[in-house]
Amino acid sequence: MRYLVPFLMLLIITQPALAKSRYGSWNDPDAVKANTPDIKSKADISKLVDELDALIDEASRARAANPVFLQDLRALAKKYGDIYRTPWPRRVFSEDFQDGNFSYDPVWTVKSGEYRIEKGWGLRSVAVAAATRQNTRQQSNESDDPAAALLGALLQSALGGKTQNRQQPTKTAPKPAASVIYTTANIGNAFDLTTTISSWRSAGRFSLGPYQGGRQRMGYRLAYTPGKPMELLRLTRRGASIVDTSSRPINLEDKKIHTLRWTRDAQGHMQILLDNQAIIDTPDRSFQDPFTGLVIRNNGSDVIVKTVQVNN
């Protein structure tokens, strides 16, 4: 009897607690589902990880949890953050040339040559060498001068036609003049550059890339020459050198829109994708400071730039 009374009292006291731990209030499953965040994309998971990091920081400052537990929780957040966070969350600029104006938001500056916007297509430059135009005019003037033609015929007749077999010196075709346009922008050392282009003539050379300094001479360039491998170039004070090339020749002269995506991470690892297919994958740490802007260069090609977007 002495032990029975305390036992009954203990049973009475603990009964509500047992009932509470064993049973809970009923919740509508549909209501729970409606209030549960719907995670559909990497961006959602990235946001979740950011919020978790903020809670961990707050708990650490308030000493609200065991430090070892917070350390493990932080490691878990980092694990999934590295997988789902985008390395380039900030939009630097996005250009689609739909406004018909490349001198405003962002401002593009023509350094040489001539650029125009083709409605529905984008930024276009057709570079023509001044020397070629001069030679064409000179040949036209000679053919239009009958006195010069008659004098040439008489001279040839006086020499007995010997000049016919004389080998004429070969004229070297002048190199196409370069058209260059650029925009200044605070582009980080790690970036995500996406552009859509179309090529309309199998000639010349087209390149673009981030630059450092005020003269657009140093930085990286992605160079396209029809029928040849695409090149990733490094431009320094010592000159230009090839970082890497695609394993196959590239031909884009189907007058269709093609997407080039160029990414560079914090460790200097760069990847070039053409229409979602990797063509260049290589590291380079020659430049470790931010870039000053983006430059586009055209040497005799006919490439239209439809869109350009850069993220950091």
The full DSSP string for the chain is -TTHHHHHHHHHHHHHHHHHHH------HHHHHHHS----SHHHHHHHHHHHHHHHHHHHHHT-S-HHHHHHHHHHHHHHHHHHS-S--SEEEEE--TTS-SBSSSB-EEEES--EEETTTEEE-----HHHHHHHHHHHHHHH-HHHHHHHHHHHHHTTTGGGSSPPPPPPPPPPPEEEEEEEEEE-SSEEEEEEEEE-SS-SEEEEEEEESSSS-EEEEEEE-TTEEEEEEEEETTEEEEEEEEEEEE--TTS--EEEEEEE-TT-EEEEEETTEEEEEEE--S--SPEEEEEEEEEB--EEEEEEEEE-
pLDDT confidence of residue 30 = 53
40-56: average pLDDT: 74
pLDDT confidence of residue 58 = 87
More confident residue, 183 or 101: 183
Instruction: Record the pTM.
Output: 0.64
* 8 A C-beta contact, residue 308 and residue 197: no
Q: What does the block give as tokens for 87?
A: 């390395």
Q: Which of 53-62, 169-178, 239-248 has the lowest mean pLDDT?
A: 169-178
Q: Please report, to the nearest 10 degrees, the dihedral formed by the alpha carbons of residues 191, 197, 202, 206 taken in order.
A: -30
**Bridge partners (DSSP) listed for residue 280:** 272
Tens of pLDDT, residue by residue over 231-246, are 999 999 999 999 999 9
Q: How confident is the model at residue 77 (pLDDT cuts 50, 70, 90)?
A: confident
What are residue 200's phi and psi, to 5 degrees? -115, 0
120-145: average pLDDT: 58
Q: Where are the domains of the chain?
A: 41-85, 91-128+174-311
* 8 A C-beta contact, residue 208 and residue 297: yes
Instruction: Out of 2.30.30.700, 1.10.260.40, 2.60.120.560, 3.30.1490.20, select the CATH number for domain 91-128+174-311.
Output: 2.60.120.560
Distance CA 138, CA 203 (A): 24
More confident residue, 127 or 227: 227
62-88: average pLDDT: 80
Q: How confident is the model at residue 157 (pLDDT cuts 50, 70, 90)?
A: low
Q: Which of 145-149, 182-186, 253-257 has the lowest mean pLDDT?
A: 145-149
Both ends of the chain: CA-CA distance in Å?
79
Q: Which of 1-5, 104-108, 193-197, 286-290 has the lowest mean pLDDT?
A: 1-5
Residue type (1 letter), 34: A
8-37: average pLDDT: 46
241-255: average pLDDT: 97
pLDDT confidence of residue 239 = 94
